[in-house]
Chain A
Amino acid sequence: EVHLVESGGGLVKPGGSLRLSCAASGFTFSTYSMNWVRLAPGKGLEWVSSIISTRRSSSDYIYYADSVKGRFTISRDNAKNSLYLQMNSLRAEDTAVYYCARDSAPYGDYHTFDSWGQGTLVTVSS
């Protein structure tokens, strides 16, 4: 069974940093593209970032939403079956529950999310 568990959320002041982690189990982590999606209070879901696994290259392709580009960095450690999101220069509008989500099939950027973690809450406030 696929299992994703996020951690690292908390209260941080504007301009501060946080690093989120997502521990994965139940599947071959290295072969799947992984994503971060957030849900801000009173708003809908928002895609944040993707890290794409491909057969052709040992390097991953990385994409960001414009709202976080230059401030957030997605990465993964396949040896530890873990996904990360380094968040710098945090703003009040980054306040949200952050979910890690798995792509629906290996080796590609399908951007359909078939498994999700329970989320970790990030609150940016002075």
Chain B
Amino acid sequence: EVVLTQSPGTLSLSPGERATLSCRASQGVSSYLAWYQQKPGQAPRLLIYDASNRATGIPARFSGSGSGTDFTLTISSLEPEDFAVYYCQQRGNWPITFGQGTRLEIK
């Protein structure tokens, strides 16, 4: 099973700042990595698929990069609505696995 390790566990930033979230896989998953955002009491929302492709309706401030074992989600300038928990998920190796999440909180 591929273990996805997200860092940091919690990230404290202010609106307008740049956020960089990391996801590291225990073995290569090619580019088969997605990022999701989840707010309390809400369903997860797909942000990025196949490492770098924005999902429909996702603002351009969200971008993804990486391949193999190291991936990054970048939010170029934080908006108030971006403070949430972010999960990475891989589909490159069976079974599908998620990271443990990064909580992005307002500083």
Indicate with 1 or 0, residue by residue over B79-98, a CB within 8 angstroms of chain A CB atoms. 00000000101010011111
B36 to chain A, nearest CB (A): 7
- Tell me if B43 and A116 are in contact (CB < 8 A): yes
Residues of A within 8 A of B18 (CB): none
Q: Name B44's closest neighbour in chain A (CB-CB).
A: A116
Number of interface residues of A (CB under 8 A): 23
Chain A 54-77 interface mask (CB, 8 Å, partner B; 1/0): 000000000101100000000000
A100→B73 CA distance, assembly (Å)? 25
Q: What's the tally of chain B residues with a CB closer than 8 Å to chain A?
A: 23
With contacts A44-B101, A104-B49, A112-B91 taken as known, whether A99 is within 8 angstroms of B96 at the C-beta atoms is no
Interface residues, chain B, with chain A CB atoms under 8 Å away: 34, 36, 38, 42-46, 49-50, 55-56, 87, 89, 91, 94-101
Q: Enumerate 28 A-B pairs (CB-CB under 8 Å) in ascending A order.
A: A37-B44, A44-B87, A44-B98, A44-B99, A44-B100, A44-B101, A45-B38, A45-B44, A45-B89, A47-B95, A47-B96, A63-B94, A65-B95, A99-B43, A99-B44, A101-B44, A104-B49, A110-B91, A112-B46, A112-B49, A112-B50, A112-B89, A112-B91, A113-B34, A113-B36, A113-B46, A117-B43, A119-B43
A residues bordering B, Cβ < 8 Å? 37, 39, 43-47, 50, 63, 65-66, 99, 101, 104, 110-114, 116-119
Extra contacts, 20 of them, besides A45-B36, A47-B89, A113-B44 (Cβ < 8 A), are: A39-B38, A44-B87, A44-B100, A44-B101, A45-B87, A45-B98, A45-B101, A47-B97, A50-B96, A63-B95, A99-B44, A110-B91, A111-B91, A111-B96, A112-B46, A112-B49, A114-B46, A116-B43, A116-B45, A117-B43
